[in-house]
Amino acid sequence: MQQSDVLIIGSGIAGLTTALKLAFKNPNLSITILTKTIENESNTRYAQGGVAAVWDMEVDTFEKHIADTLDAGDGLCDESIVRIVVEEGPERVREIIEWGTRFDKEKNSENYDLGKEGGHSENRILHYKDLTGAEIQRALLAKAKELPNIKIYEHYFAMEIITQHHLGYYVTKLTPNIECYGTYVLDKETGKIETFLAKVTVLASGGAGQVYRSTTNPVIATGDGIAMVFRANGRIENMEFVQFHPTSLYNPAVESRSFLVSEAVRGYGAILRTSDGKEFMQKYDPRKSLAPRDIVARAIDNEMKMRGEDYVYLDCTHLDEEGYIAHFPTIYEKCKSIGIDPMKDYIPVVPACHYVCGGIKVDEIGKSSILNLYAAGECTSTGLHGANRLASNSLLEAMVFGHRIHEDILENINKKGIKTNVPDWNAEGTTDPKELVLITQSWKELKEIMSSYVGIVRSNVRLKRALDRLHLLYTETELVYSNTTVSPQLCELRNLITIAYLVTKSASIRRESRGLHYTTDFPKKSNRLEISIL
């Protein structure tokens, strides 16, 4: 049984920001970070575009950034949260620069090279080539290793948050004061399940893109935090709003992660074209290729279906070669590796699942509906994104909420204790290698269900079919789970089935089209602004 003051699940920007601030402010706090793979593997690492922040105050303003975010969110943003994130954001960015994060600067200048992405009215994206997330991850991890009161456990998979359920109490979503005492954790190297207890727990477990066949997310993005909170009867909201990045690199070879061609490439001047070379975005939005992601993704999806083609093209051939390679070296090299020269050839692209805008409902300081449980980053629904995330707002959100969480923890940690009468995990079960076939096949089936029926365009018939098949998958998987020794693959499958249910059920509840949720049965917006809560 492990004990610490603060337990953080996830080693991306949200988890590391929270840990660093706590460790700096109170060197006596013991802080444990769990990551289910290696410490630098997270959704943060794959964020190419950058961080949106009002930086050049002579041109840009908070009000402009707020307006852009509200416009992208299509009526469902919490304006007070948007204002908090936008106004506090620049200071959070300055802090990570002080911690060693590098951003690109203009040639022969100390001014930052501010990019522009779809949905933004001004140049306000700080970036490091096309590896912004990886650069931030590097800097934060390096800083964390300087602090002796932060301990990072690699290959530790959080399976369930511990609540009154595990002490024999019956609690429901309507039960007040559900409490979190820590988590049950699978040591992936030994196969043993350990109990990690803490005064407070912070979920920074990232996204859930692996629920779809094509995703820009790494293989670890299996929605673990959201699924754990749902099973613990915590509040989840707005899961129907799944953002599909319009431009992932088309590759007929099956890969676990689609390669992202950043929004910033279109911000730099790239143009979307059909296979015959014709520009098409003007038919869908006056902003053309710089329209918000939901509009661009649906436009590409529509063009592909109308023409019976597997992809559209991104044209970079007219762009300055030296500047393009300097800004997007990773994208350039990836394209070259598969025989495409972006300076001469069009890049084939398709939409891919990219970001979940809903998740664990938290308040303005990151508190979930479960006592002593905070959450930050993509696993949350803060009110910032509403029905659609504005490009490059996510890293900013993670830093702002990491800061707010640390302030509340420091103010209240001395009033809290560790509950020690928690039973060990019941590890009964039999290992049967044949069951791995069931797990891998169920995973493939799940991705097909979600991609076919709960993708960019939805309908009542498709959603009903998805729910029926998901119920069967759920029943089969729970039977395996109850009779088989727990494995990471089985836990991730359970979590993804939960995520699939939450997305599909939330989509079936919303009787309108708004933001990232588009249904052919209700193609227009409703006059009622409703949050979907499960």
Q: Which positions are catalytic?
A: 293
How far is it, in rounded angstroms, from Cα 366 to Cα 380? Answer: 9
Burial (Cβ within 10 Å: 0-12, 13-18, ≥19) of residue 147: middle
Please say whether the beta carbons of 43 and 207 come within 8 A.
Answer: yes
Backbone phi, then psi, for 187, in 5-degree steps?
-80, 105
Please say whether the beta carbons of 400 and 89 come within 8 A.
Answer: yes
Please say whether the beta carbons of 53 and 103 come within 8 A.
Answer: no
How far is it, in rounded angstroms, from Cα 377 to Cα 398? Answer: 5
- Residue 396, both tokens: 């900013």
- Residue 143, both tokens: 């800083």
- Name the DSSP class of 179: B
Please give the full DSSP string across 51-63, using - where no structure is assigned. Answer: EE----TTT--HH
Which three-class secondary structure state does DSSP give residue 308? coil
Identify which of 264, 253, 273 has the alpha carbon closest to the alpha carbon of residue 346: 273
What is the four-CA torsion angle of 64, 69, 71, 75, rounded to 10 degrees? -130
- Residue 156, both tokens: 């530790």
Which three-class secondary structure state does DSSP give residue 160? strand
How far is it, in rounded angstroms, from Cα 156 to Cα 11? Answer: 11
435: left (phi over 0), alpha (psi -120 to 50) or beta: alpha
- Residue 199, both tokens: 């005064």
Q: Is the dihedral of CA 379, 134, 114, 322 positive or negative?
A: negative
- Name the DSSP class of 122: S
Please say whether the beta carbons of 492 and 433 come within 8 A.
Answer: no
Question: What count of other Cβ atoms lies within 10 Å of the Cβ of residue 14?
Answer: 35
